[in-house]
Amino acid sequence: MAPTNTPKKKSTGGKPTSTVSYKDALKVGAVCAIVTLVLAIVVTRAWQDGRAFGYAFIYAGAAFVLVSGFTSYLNWVMRKDTQNQDQSYPVMR
């Protein structure tokens, strides 16, 4: 999930971006959901109780939605950032 340096559409002037794709944001959400599911099953001993097993899936779904939503929002913020349009110089001058 390395940052891409692809040019923007011509309507924005063709300036390169340094953001990741939304597809990568969904991948991060899926990984967090899987980790949350496994941890919830282990911690609550969900194999002993069906109700706890259901809650583990609810926690995993919530983790997916929250993490994917937050990473997509941060990605959107970085794509709309106009503060540092000129990146032809090093970060530390």
The 10s digit of each residue's pLDDT in 9-62 is: 444 555 555 567 888 889 999 999 999 999 999 999 988 888 989 999 999 999
Say whether pTM exceeds 0.85.
no
pLDDT digits (tens, 9 = 90+) for 55-81: 999 999 999 999 999 998 988 888 877
Reduced to 3 states, what is the DSSP secondary structure of residue 80?
coil
Domain boundaries, the chain: 22-84
Q: Which of 30, 53, 58, 28 is nearest to 42 (CA)?
A: 53
